Structure 1
Amino acid sequence: MALVTDILEWLQALPQPALVGATGALVFAECTIGLGFIAPGESGLLVAATTANTAPRFLILWAVVAVCATLGDSLGYAIGRKFGPRLRETKLIQKYGTDAWDKATDVLHRRGAWAVFFARFLPVIRTLTPAAAGTSGLEFRKFLPAAAAGAISWSLLHVSLGAAMGEAAKRIEGVLNTGGLIVVGVLAAVAVFFLLRWKKKKAMGKLDERTAEPSKAE
């Protein structure tokens, strides 16, 4: 977790062109077999997307991420094609992803290329599906369009979310900078008003009780 936090903090400190390049590299690494357990591609994308506050920045980040995700999936497919079922027995998958590997393989056998598309939106399974697709024998001419479509849709969703988060943060910051003190002051005044009113009612109640005591004694 410390490594992930360090990477995300490093991303935030980068200038815009380097940020886009680094985000693409993280997404590429996440899509390659095994590296998805280490590279925070999705988190890094959301961090980068908070800076996509203009149309050119949005489109460039979307294009770079979609291409890098597709290339990463293609590399994962090639690895699966080369090593086959032996990948399941590797230490990395045995440690982190045996269940996910089996699920990905099962869905691929039942759904084919559709599984490649929808797996893009599922953490962990997203990392293993390209290699599992290569292992299962799914043809590359069917795999590539599904992987590209999934990458385009997934990257659009996350860039949009990140951009919206960034815009919301700016608006909140603007409210706090300009009208925040006024809002806080009004809320404080209201709180003080009701507090004083409550204390006054409590004091009047005690006074009534004391006034009633002599009457009872008579």
Structure 2
Amino acid sequence: MDISSLLQALPPEVIYAVVGLVVGVESLGIPLPGETTLIGAALISVHPHAPIATLWVGIAAFVGAVLGDSIGYTVGRRMGPSLFTKLGRRFPRHLSPDHIAYAEHLVSRYGMGAVFGGRFVALLRIVAGPLAGSLRMHYPRFFAANAIGAAAWAGGITLLVATLGKVAHEYVAGATWGLLAIAIVGGIALSHYVGKSFQRRVADFTRERAEAATARP
């Protein structure tokens, strides 16, 4: 079976559901490749024989992000700090106490701005909802920042990737699939770079906090 036949055999609902589910579960506090899944689906959608529409890929990611963050907010509000203790034990590499402390600092200081901007940063994308709930952020404010951030993130990535995929496919037959591989690798590399940068910020924050605690009489 060739790629075109394989694509035609896949139910569109399954692909949309996978995009929404992965993005949504990531927003609950579980480290999953939500962004990479969205990039892959957006590229698949521009293939001539794709069974899915680019618009609905973006909508699926948007809905998954909003619902996932809202559920995460509710869980964080009910469980409080104990949620992050449990998540830290389960995912120590991504959600250590230092990571959570820095993310909590950002949400406490920037509020809606952290929720909006957090959609574009892997760690904050994972914990913004639960943290906002744990910190008792007013839900209408959280929902507004969450929805706007989800729309900008899902819509922006979908539009950019689909546009690049269409342009490439017009000039090179089958280029969409090459771009899919490149986009996935590039997404992983970019995520790694952003992760390293974020790790440095976490380390700086942790060091400054320790120094401040030591300096207190």
Q: Same fold (TM over 0.5)?
A: yes
RMSD: 2.7
Q: Measure how far apart 1:19 and its partner are.
A: 1.3
* Alignment partners' CA distance in 2, 1:141 and 1:167: 38
* Alignment partners' CA distance in 2, 1:110 and 1:161: 31
Retained in 2: the 8 A contact 1:100–1:125? no
Kindly indicate whether residue 142 of structure 2 is the aligned counterpart of residue 143 of structure 1. Answer: yes
* Alignment partners' CA distance in 2, 1:150 and 1:50: 22
TM-score of the two chains, using structure 1 as the length reference = 0.67
Could you tell me which residue of structure 1 aligns to residue 3 of structure 2?
A: none
Instruction: Specify every segment of 5 or more residues in structure 2 that has no aligned partner in the other structure, as ranges.
Output: 1-5, 176-217
Retained in 2: the 8 A contact 1:48–1:162? no
Q: Measure how far apart 1:14 and its partner are.
A: 3.7
Helix, strand or coil at the partner of 1:49:
helix
**One-letter identity of the residue aligned with 1:47:** G
Q: Measure how far apart 1:170 and its partner are.
A: 1.4
Report how many residues are paired.
163
Could you tell me which residue of structure 2 aligns to residue 96 of structure 1?
A: 94
- Structure showing the higher helix proportion among its residues: 1
* Alignment partners' CA distance in 2, 1:153 and 1:137: 24
Aligned pairs for 1:40-189 within 5 A: 40-53=33-46, 57-90=53-86, 91-98=89-96, 99-174=98-173
Cα deviation, 1:106-160, whole Å, max 9, x if unaligned, reads 0111111121011111012210111111111111111111101100000011101
Change (3 A) 1:88 1:22: closer
Which residue of 8, 25, 29 maps to 1:29?
25
Q: Measure how far apart 1:78 and its partner are.
A: 0.9
Cα deviation, 1:11-31, whole Å, max 9, x if unaligned, reads 9x8443321221111111111
Structure with larger Rg: 1
TM-score of the two chains, using structure 2 as the length reference = 0.67
Cα deviation, 1:58-108, whole Å, max 9, x if unaligned, reads 222222211111000001111110110112322125442123322221011
